[in-house]
Structure 1
Amino acid sequence: MQVEDDNISAIHEYPSESQEYDPFFGIPVPDPVVIRGATSSSSIFGLNNRFQDDFPAPLTGRVAPEEFQETIGRINSVLKKSMPVNMKWFICGCLCCCCTLGCSLWPVICLSKRTRQNVEKAVEWENERLYKKLGLQWSLTRYRGGGSPSLTEYVLVIRFLPKVPIDRPD
């Protein structure tokens, strides 16, 4: 799922308690797995510089822990390459903000958007390579933070795709 920055309706709440059902089989579809940013990492405009690499229990039996670690490693490497540059531009922009009337923060905003696009490309590549075959779909999604509705963060969401019935015609 692509998230547009200007569309405030694209901001979702954390997965709710309501249960979804598979339209063909009528069996419940498990709730999505949410992978948040590491707690000790820095964040610029809601995007952390690394995601947690702990293997979630709901993925047991669906994907190997090694494959999961490899995917998180690829995503974290994309973030590791770009976030230090973003942080330097952010500090420089904050120092020059008074003199430039806030225009010095535009490079950080552009770099942050490029970083999100690179992470989304890496996630899509992983989906096509492995996860759609396993009935999973990863996405980078913007969620509302804990207490305040104005605070948002980017998280990785793993959704379980419904099984395709092979006994029914198209």
Structure 2
Amino acid sequence: MDRYSGIYYQEGEDSSDDPENTLGVDIILVPEPITLRGVGSVTIFGLNNKFSSELPSTLHSRVAPEEYKETIDKINRVLRKNLPTNARLLFFGCFFCCCTFGCSFWPVICSSRRTLRLLHRLLERENRNLYYKLGLRWHLSKQHLDASNLLEYVILIEFLPRIPIYKPD
């Protein structure tokens, strides 16, 4: 009964002897996130009016094409509903800018923030219901355009690290 009362390490089992793993912590490699840029023709305050529903090649084995297309269609529906209003408000804001000393831009700024909040809520709901279970996380992120200082909202699809459940603590 005595020999079972403690934990004994055999040769080669101690993870602190490994020169690559000096802290005893396993390093989990995660692929680079996938960036989905807008493909529409109109961009208002960095938010494009459409995203492509074509499945990226790196997601072929992780997500069903129908699920991906449904999520992108939901995002495009929110954008299709809200961005025309933002465009009209921006036009009127530019037209009345001199008379109102710039205060006519507040409605379009508030409307743009509302659209972003709707998209954040939509992506969080989709993550909670589907993508966290698949090891993915979708979220909006600001990124610089290719050769300028302008910012654009893109959808980042990050791969979540898998936790090794069969390895003891």
TM-score in same-fold range (> 0.5): yes
Offset at residue 30 of structure 1 (A): 1.1
1:55 matches 2:66: no
User: Aligned Cα RMSD in Å?
Assistant: 1.6
Instruction: Give the equivalent residue in structure 1 for 2:155.
Output: 156
Q: TM-score, normalised by structure 2?
A: 0.82
- C-alpha distance in structure 2 between counterparts of 1:86 and 1:169, whole Å: 54
Matches within 5 A, 1:4-153: 26-38=27-39, 40-149=40-149, 151-153=150-152
Q: TM-score, normalised by structure 1?
A: 0.81
DSSP-derived class of the 1:30 partner: coil
- Stretches of structure 2 that go unaligned for 5 or more consecutive residues are 1-23
| Contact 1:24 1:165 (C-alpha < 8 Å) held by counterparts | no
Distance 1:160 1:24, change over 3 A: farther
- C-alpha distance in structure 1 between counterparts of 2:57 and 2:28, whole Å: 20
CA deviation vs aligned residue, 1:72-112 (integer Å, no higher than 9, x gap):
00011111111111111111101001111111011000100
Offset at residue 54 of structure 1 (A): 1.6
DSSP-derived class of the 1:28 partner: coil
DSSP-derived class of the 1:63 partner: coil
**Superposed structure 1 runs of 4+ greater than 4 Å apart:** none
- Stretches of structure 1 that go unaligned for 5 or more consecutive residues are 1-22
- Of 43-52 and 129-138, more deviation after overlay is shown by 43-52
CA deviation vs aligned residue, 1:22-42 (integer Å, no higher than 9, x gap):
x9653531111000001x421
Q: Which has the larger radius of gyration?
A: 2
